[in-house]
Homo-oligomer: A and B are copies of this chain.
């Protein structure tokens, strides 16, 4: 099988670097172009990227001449799919240009996430939502989004609990990594020996994106899940991975061991299809009282598993757990890539 030819937009940022790293030797996809801002266009990738992620620089791309991502006409290679790691402020306009040229886009940027005809994908949670694409006809090509990082980590362990026990109410308090703000998004002086108890727009996103992802596809529409959800999101001095303290009020009473079993045994469509980026165990349960820890658990399942611990059923009947997941893998580039793999295997590309 010939590989699908792809381009990465926003290839010099942190999510873009992860795309480059994950795609260097991918069995399905071949990167034929790397896009970035106008300022970088025309220069070699190795000259314009300030490589910072904890993986080796992908030597394969070092001499790729970066093109101006904002102008699809600058893309001289034929391309079957776009991965977008564009900044949210510019993503809407630019992504539309590619759609209008007939190139499908799988995107990590926030615009269009809540549009009724745009699937918001966390593949183990809602693989069937891809069917929405059959009804998405307004552009010349298909647009697929993945959720914000916090929601991607959150909804994975929620899914088997929702299916098994039902959910009435969620409350989540997050401790989010520095890299979630982008490479230069957070001044060092603001976070060393400190916590910032607020992340702009994040709590709203968690709320609205979670119920869409966990919703049901009925008659070509997503019916959002009905539980209520409260979020408090904070920034902590951790490089990568979000830690989330999650309280879940289930519809029926449960015990902790049952919850653990349901989480451990959870497998979904990406595992059935043995997609290359799918972790064998999407949810890893740790029994030690002091786990999960972001520094120790972030690369479980190559950064695609969510690791869960401190599972307890409280006196109130609520399930309490602490989840750790990599914000740039499960929460961004990894989940985009997994989505594209799923699309390919399910015939959407």
The complex places the Cα of A318 from the Cα of B54 at a distance, in Å, of 34
Tell me, rounded to whole Å, the shortest Cβ–Cβ distance linking A207 to chain B.
9
Q: What chain B residues lie within 8 Å of A289 (beta carbons)?
A: 198
Q: Contacts A197-B310, A238-B195, A243-B195; is A232 near B189 (CB within 8 Å)? A: no
Q: Contacts A186-B189, A194-B296, A292-B197; is A247 near B230 (CB within 8 Å)? A: yes
Q: Contacts A173-B245, A175-B175, A183-B187; is A194 near B238 (CB within 8 Å)? A: yes
A192 contact from B169, B184, B237, B315, Cβ within 8 A: B237
A326 within 8 A of B: no
Q: What chain B residues lie within 8 Å of A310 (beta carbons)?
A: 197-198, 232
Q: Interface residue tally of chain A, by bracket?
A: 35 or more
Tell me, rounded to whole Å, the shortest Cβ–Cβ distance linking A305 to chain B.
12
Closest-by-CB residue of B relative to A315 is B228
A247 in contact with B171 (CB, 8 Å): yes
The complex places the Cα of A238 from the Cα of B52 at a distance, in Å, of 16
A196 within 8 A of B: yes
A230 in contact with B178 (CB, 8 Å): no
Q: What chain B residues lie within 8 Å of A188 (beta carbons)?
A: 178, 181, 186-188, 190-192, 237
B187 in contact with A184 (CB, 8 Å): yes
Mark out the residues of chain A between 50 and 73 whose CB falls within 8 Å of any chain B CB in the assembled complex. 51-52, 54
Mark out the residues of chain A between 313 and 349 whose CB falls within 8 Å of any chain B CB in the assembled complex. 314-316, 318, 320, 322
A230 in contact with B185 (CB, 8 Å): no
Q: What chain B residues lie within 8 Å of A320 (beta carbons)?
A: 230, 232
A236 within 8 A of B: yes
Chain A 236-252: CB-based contact to B (< 8 A → 1; otherwise 0)? 11110001010100000
**Pairs A-B, 10 closest by C-beta atoms:** A194-B295, A173-B173, A188-B188, A184-B187, A197-B322, A186-B188, A198-B290, A178-B188, A237-B237, A173-B245
